[in-house]
């Protein structure tokens, strides 16, 4: 395969590592799945706390921006040479828009729904972008695996429609929007090819700029003065340390090693872990539709993630 150039983004999209590096990428993706599940649980818990979505977003982006700023500066030339549309895709896909959609959706829908809809559907969006934009071939095994994922999501959504719970349905739709955003981030990050820590730092720095603009315009609410120290500490660790720093690195590492489609397929295992964790931690119960959706999505993700691109 010839070396890629800025005019050939699809070439960069296809390049994967081999051997040990590939399996290290798989491990990084599994670490990311664990952090995602914990993040979804913590955001759902915040719905009954004092901290607002703005407070959580500040924790999520400000602290990691300070820590990762040296990596952004070190790779400033590569960032400067990255096409604007990929940087914009990263900002929209994993920045404030994604955070708002996911955190607001979790105010209406259970954590199990978030686990199913965000990481459950974004492999479908990623594969659609890969096929229609980058003209990637769709392996039959991946097609069937993602078909199971789609069926699992359809089961969950049809249950919400049948029950007529408009609040849960509203949350489900917001979570689907967050899923599309995350797919956009995944593909943009893959094609941009930025080092994981530099990419995570750039995302956090740009998101801080968006949050600063919202603050200057007065378009925010905060509950930081009324929140308990325990709530603040818990969310700070989850948002800044785990989601902001560790997951920011592990996800970028996985994408650079095993590609966007493989990473997104493994990420679809998040619903199983989130749904099971929500039972003891949040007191949520799993409906038959949620269990069936979890089974279909888990099996589909496993089947799809076993495919390695040439």
Average pLDDT, the chain: 87
pLDDT confidence of residue 225: 93
Kindly indicate the confidence band of residue 17, based on its pLDDT and cuts at 50, 70 and 90.
low
The answer to whether position 104 is within a domain reads: yes
pLDDT confidence of residue 285: 86
The answer to whether position 9 is within a domain reads: no
The answer to whether position 310 is within a domain reads: no
pLDDT confidence of residue 14: 53
pLDDT(307) > 70:
no
pLDDT confidence of residue 13: 52
Residue whose token pair is 């999505």: 297
How buried is 257 (Cβ within 10 angstroms: 0-12 exposed, 13-18 middle, 19+ buried)? buried
pLDDT tens column, 40-65: 999 998 888 899 999 999 999 999 99
CA distance linking residue 289 with residue 143, whole number of Å: 23
Kindly indicate the confidence band of residue 141, based on its pLDDT and cuts at 50, 70 and 90.
confident
The answer to whether position 159 is within a domain reads: yes
Question: Beta-carbon neighbour count of residue 134 at 10 Å?
Answer: 17
pLDDT tens column, 59-116: 999 999 999 999 999 999 999 999 999 999 999 999 999 999 999 999 999 998 898 8
Report residue 254 as tokens. 């996985």
Task: Classify the phi-psi angles of 49: left when phi > 0, otherwise alpha if psi is within -120 to 50, otherwise beta.
Answer: beta
The answer to whether position 99 is within a domain reads: yes
Instruction: Lowest mean pLDDT of 10-14, 46-50, 84-88, 227-231, name the range.
Output: 10-14
Instruction: Confirm if 301 and 26 have CB atoms less than 8 A apart.
Output: no
CA distance linking residue 62 with residue 204, whole number of Å: 7
The answer to whether position 5 is within a domain reads: no
Kindly indicate the confidence band of residue 10, based on its pLDDT and cuts at 50, 70 and 90.
very low
Query: pTM for the full model?
Result: 0.84
The answer to whether position 213 is within a domain reads: yes
Task: For the chain, give the percent of residues with pLDDT over 70.
Answer: 92
The answer to whether position 1 is within a domain reads: no
Nearest Cα residue to 167 out of 101, 121, 105: 105
Report residue 68 as tokens. 């990762």
pLDDT(9) > 80:
no
Kindly indicate the confidence band of residue 6, based on its pLDDT and cuts at 50, 70 and 90.
very low
CA distance linking residue 10 with residue 2, whole number of Å: 12
What is the number of structural domains in the chain?
A: 1
Determine the structural domain holding residue 47 and report its residue range: 16-305
Report residue 74 as tokens. 């070190």
pLDDT confidence of residue 308: 54
């Amino acid at each position: 395969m010839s070396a890629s150039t800025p005019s050939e983004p699809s070439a960069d999209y296809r390049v994967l590592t081999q051997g040990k590096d590939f399996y290290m990428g798989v491990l990084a993706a599994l670490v990311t799945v664990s952090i995602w599940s914990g993040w979804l649980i913590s955001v759902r818990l915040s719905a009954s706390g004092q901290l607002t979505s703005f407070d959580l977003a500040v924790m999520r982006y400000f602290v990691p921006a300070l820590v990762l700023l040296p990596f952004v500066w070190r790779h400033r030339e590569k960032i400067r040479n990255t096409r604007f549309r990929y940087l914009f895709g990263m900002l929209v896909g994993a920045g404030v828009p994604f955070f708002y959609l996911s955190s607001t959706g979790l105010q209406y829908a259970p954590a199990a729904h978030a686990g199913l809809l965000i990481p459950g559907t974004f492999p479908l969006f990623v594969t659609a972008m890969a096929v229609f934009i980058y003209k990637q071939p769709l392996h039959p095994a991946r097609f069937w695996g993602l078909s199971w994922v789609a069926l699992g999501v359809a089961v969950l959504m049809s249950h919400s429609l049948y029950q007529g719970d408009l609040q849960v349905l509203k949350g489900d739709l917001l979570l689907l929007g967050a899923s599309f955003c995350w797919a956009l981030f995944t593909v943009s990050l893959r094609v941009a090819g930025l080092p994981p820590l530099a990419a995570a730092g750039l995302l956090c720095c740009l998101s801080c700029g968006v949050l600063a603009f919202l603050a200057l315009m007065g378009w925010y609410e905060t509950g930081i003065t009324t929140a308990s120290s325990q709530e603040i500490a818990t969310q700070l660790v989850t948002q800044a340390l785990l989601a902001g720093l560790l997951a920011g690195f592990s996800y970028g590492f996985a994408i650079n090693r095993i590609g966007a489609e493989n990473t997104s397929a493994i990420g679809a295992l998040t619903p199983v872990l989130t749904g099971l964790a929500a039972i003891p931690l949040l007191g949520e119960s799993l409906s038959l539709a949620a269990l069936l959706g979890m089974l279909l999505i888990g099996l589909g993700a496993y089947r799809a993630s076993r495919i390695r691109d040439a």
